[in-house]
Amino acid sequence: MTVEAVGEALAAVNAGLNLTSTVLLLVGVRYIRLREIRKHRRCMIGAVTASALFLVLYLLRFSLTGTHTFEGPEMVRRIYLVVLFSHMALAAAVVPLVLRLLLFLKRRRFKAHRRLARWTFPIWLYVSVTGLFVYFMLYHLYG
């Protein structure tokens, strides 16, 4: 198996991890609104795990294959780049937010957790969904 093939496989696995995180975030929010805290906790632990594993595998893929050039038409490329740069900036921002949420939980500061989660959830969800968009655009639509 070539390095490029490994990189392609890792990209597909990462898309699956992004999808997993997206679904778990949405289901987890539904559970907390229903006050099913144990189910919410399981979903959110799954989302954190999927996202952390994504980060490790993304760094591995990047170290193996580097960046990829978007091959689509210029107008689509502009849209792709706007989404990509917003995705990257918010992905970097969401990591400390999620770590802070976990710290609040560890210290049993549930009100602080709830306040921060209201900001963190939409950012994390956007990062997960746009990760899928970037993957689809780069590897399937114009890959």
Look at residue 143 in the predicted model and tell me its pLDDT.
67
**Residue pLDDT tens, the chain, 143 long:** 899 899 899 999 999 999 999 999 999 999 999 999 999 999 999 999 999 999 999 999 999 999 888 989 999 999 999 999 999 999 999 999 999 999 999 999 999 999 999 999 999 999 999 999 999 999 998 86
Sign (positive or negative) of CA dihedral 12, 17, 21, 23: positive
* Nearest alpha carbon to residue 67 among 88, 90, 91: 88
pTM of the model: 0.93
Look at residue 106 in the predicted model and tell me its pLDDT.
95
